[in-house]
């Protein structure tokens, strides 16, 4: 049985809808499409599937309501428009879902909600409790107060994080593109749609630097980042065009629409997900070829002898990125020592730590149990 054949038996589905799906090119709401998508999601819910909706569009809706022809560039104006648009957007969803007898709940998240381990667990439990009440969560970035996510426009990644948090069976990202092509179809008519991807290469990332419409902030690059999260977390992800008739029903039914990103077979543990994706790295550890080999191929902890450099200021117990000699991030983990301490013991044997620091709580800079290694 192929991956698409399994979708019809999904228990929990996350659907991400972008600004370009919700609006016309002039910024006006595409009410017909919104109503159609809501109807399809309500129908999935009628089939006893749990549905989580991650929606963009608050800033775009706010801009439209306030008469803006395009989204302004200053952060305070974007935050103000998000405040105007968020309520209007939720009201619209509530109205459409209510017509099909469905109850919705608004969930606004910031990166801080996932960065702290306890808040990450609280967010997880809240989402699962909402689902247990037979309610459809409508999730968005809290654009009124958050800064980085407005600036970089990353609801694609947010949807992938949500899919990982709740152990979804499928993430479906609806956009204004058919999926991932081998090159830009807008400039090359010979571009070929990739129906299935099992590995995201650097070449794919280099070719995916396009941005979204004037009212959206995403693009294929952020979708590939989302796919990396899902694939590592063991969640299949599909990018499909919201213009397709009955797109949700057809994808969940197993039809070969869009691009399917095939995940790892093994599921990640909750703690490993948080280390890998839930928190922002506070610094970097540069390692030599021997440490790279030990981490990637032998399942070892990171010892001070393999560390060649430290970047950033961080304390014990924070998450940092591990960087191999060619500059690629190969792992993330919780450090046992602060940045200034690691700088002193870098390149040294574990037996020398106490003499250098005056104490030794751990032999390892990052223990294997607190380490996530990229596949």
Percentage of the chain surpassing pLDDT 90?
50
According to the annotation, is 7 in a ligand binding site?
no
According to the annotation, is 237 in a ligand binding site?
no
The CATH number of residue 91's host domain is 3.40.1160.10
pLDDT at residue 271 tops 80: no
**102 and 250 share one domain:** yes
**233 and 318 share one domain:** no
According to the annotation, is 221 in a ligand binding site?
yes
According to the annotation, is 56 in a ligand binding site?
yes
According to the annotation, is 223 in a ligand binding site?
yes
According to the annotation, is 363 in a ligand binding site?
no
Residue 75: its pLDDT value, please? 80
According to the annotation, is 176 in a ligand binding site?
yes
**201 and 289 share one domain:** no
CA distance 303 to 317: 16
According to the annotation, is 159 in a ligand binding site?
no
Q: Which residues of 98-111 are buried (b: 16+ CB within 10 A; e: fewer)?
A: eeeebebbebbbbb
Give pLDDT tens digits for 228-269: 888 888 899 999 999 999 999 999 999 999 999 999 877 777
Percentage of the chain surpassing pLDDT 70?
93
What mean pLDDT comes out for the span 36-50? Answer: 96
Q: Are strands 371-373 and 196-197 parallel, antiparallel or unpaired?
A: unpaired
Task: Using alpha carbons, list the distances in angstroms from residue 95 to 27, 203, 242, 270.
Answer: 20, 43, 21, 35
Residue 151: its pLDDT value, please? 42
According to the annotation, is 214 in a ligand binding site?
no
- Of the CA atoms within 13 Å of residue 289, those in its CB half-sphere come to 1
pLDDT at residue 115 tops 80: no
Q: Residues 299, 337: contact at Cβ < 8 Å? A: no
**223 and 126 share one domain:** yes
Does residue 241 belong to any structural domain of this protein?
yes
Give pLDDT tens digits for 68-114: 877 777 888 888 888 888 888 999 999 999 999 999 999 988 777 77
CA distance 72 to 266: 44
Does residue 82 belong to any structural domain of this protein?
yes
How high does pLDDT run on average in the chain?
Answer: 87
**307 and 160 share one domain:** no
According to the annotation, is 175 in a ligand binding site?
yes
According to the annotation, is 283 in a ligand binding site?
no
Compute the C-alpha angle 129/109/126, nearest 5°.
Answer: 10
**17 and 64 share one domain:** yes
Q: Which residues of 296-316 are buried (b: 16+ CB within 10 A; e: fewer)?
A: eeeebbbbbbbbeebeeebee
Asked which of 271, 306, 336 is the last residue of a domain, the reply is: 271
Give pLDDT tens digits for 142-159: 766 655 543 434 688 889
Give pLDDT tens digits for 161-218: 899 889 999 999 998 888 888 877 777 788 888 999 988 877 777 776 654 443 344 4
Structural domain count, the chain: 2
Give pLDDT tens digits for 204-228: 777 766 544 433 444 688 888 889 8
Residue 163: its pLDDT value, please? 93
pLDDT at residue 362 tops 70: yes
Token pair recorded at residue 239: 């990018």
Asked which of 236, 271, 306 is the last residue of a domain, the reply is: 271
pTM: 0.82
Residue-number span of the structural domain to which 203 is assigned: 3-271
According to the annotation, is 222 in a ligand binding site?
yes
Residue 1: its pLDDT value, please? 63
Does residue 276 belong to any structural domain of this protein?
no
The CATH number of residue 314's host domain is 2.30.130.10
Residue 249: its pLDDT value, please? 95
Higher-confidence residue of 79 and 331: namely: 331
Query: If you search the block for the tokens 């599937």, which residue do you land on?
Result: 49
Token pair recorded at residue 162: 């949500």
CA distance 206 to 268: 28
What mean pLDDT comes out for the span 316-345? Answer: 93
Q: Residues 57, 65: contact at Cβ < 8 Å? A: no
Residue 375: its pLDDT value, please? 65
According to the annotation, is 360 in a ligand binding site?
no
DSSP symbols for 311-365: ES---TT-EEEEE-TTS-EEEEEE-SS-HHHHHHHTTS-GGGHHHHHS--S-S-S
Does residue 295 belong to any structural domain of this protein?
yes
């Amino acid at each position: 049985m192929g991956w698409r054949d399994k979708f019809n038996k999904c228990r929990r589905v996350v659907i991400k809808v972008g600004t370009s799906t919700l609006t016309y090119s002039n910024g006006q709401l595409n009410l017909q499409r919104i109503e159609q998508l809501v109807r399809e999601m309500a129908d999935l819910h009628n089939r006893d599937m749990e549905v989580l909706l991650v929606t963009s569009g608050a800033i775009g809706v706010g801009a439209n309501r306030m008469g803006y022809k395009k989204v302004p560039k200053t952060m305070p104006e974007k935050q103000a428009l998000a405040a105007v648009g968020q309520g209007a957007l939720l009201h619209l969803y509530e109205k459409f879902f209510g017509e099909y007898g469905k109850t919705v709940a608004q969930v606004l998240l910031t990166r801080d909600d996932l960065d702290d381990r306890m808040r990450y667990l609280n967010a997880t439990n809240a989402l699962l409790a909402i689902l247990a009440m037979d309610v459809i969560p409508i999730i968005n970035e809290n654009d009124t107060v958050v800064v980085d996510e407005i600036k970089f426009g990353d609801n694609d990644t947010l949807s992938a994080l949500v899919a990982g948090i709740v152990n979804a069976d499928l993430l479906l990202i609806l956009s204004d593109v058919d999926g991932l092509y081998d090159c830009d179809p807008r400039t090359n008519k010979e571009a070929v749609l990739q129906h299935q991807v099992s590995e995201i290469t650097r070449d794919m990332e280099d070719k995916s630097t396009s941005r979204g419409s004037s009212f959206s902030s995403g693009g294929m690059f952020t979708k590939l980042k989302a796919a990396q999260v899902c694939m590592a977390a063991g969640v299949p992800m599909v990018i499909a065009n919201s213009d397709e008739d009955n797109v949700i029903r057809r994808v969940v039914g197993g039809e070969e629409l869009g691009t399917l990103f095939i995940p790892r077979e093994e599921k990640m543990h909750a703690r490993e997900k948080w280390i890998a994706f839930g928190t922002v790295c506070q610094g970097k550890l540069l390692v030599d070829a021997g440490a790279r080999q030990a981490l990637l191929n032998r399942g070892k902890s990171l010892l001070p002898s393999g560390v060649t450099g430290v970047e950033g200021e961080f304390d014990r117990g924070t998450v940092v990125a591990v960087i191999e000699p060619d500059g690629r991030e190969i792992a993330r983990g919780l450090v046992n020592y602060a940045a200034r301490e690691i700088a002193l013991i870098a390149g040294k044997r574990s037996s020398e730590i106490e003499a250098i620091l005056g104490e030794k709580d751990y032999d390892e800079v990052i223990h294997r149990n607190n380490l996530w290694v990229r596949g």
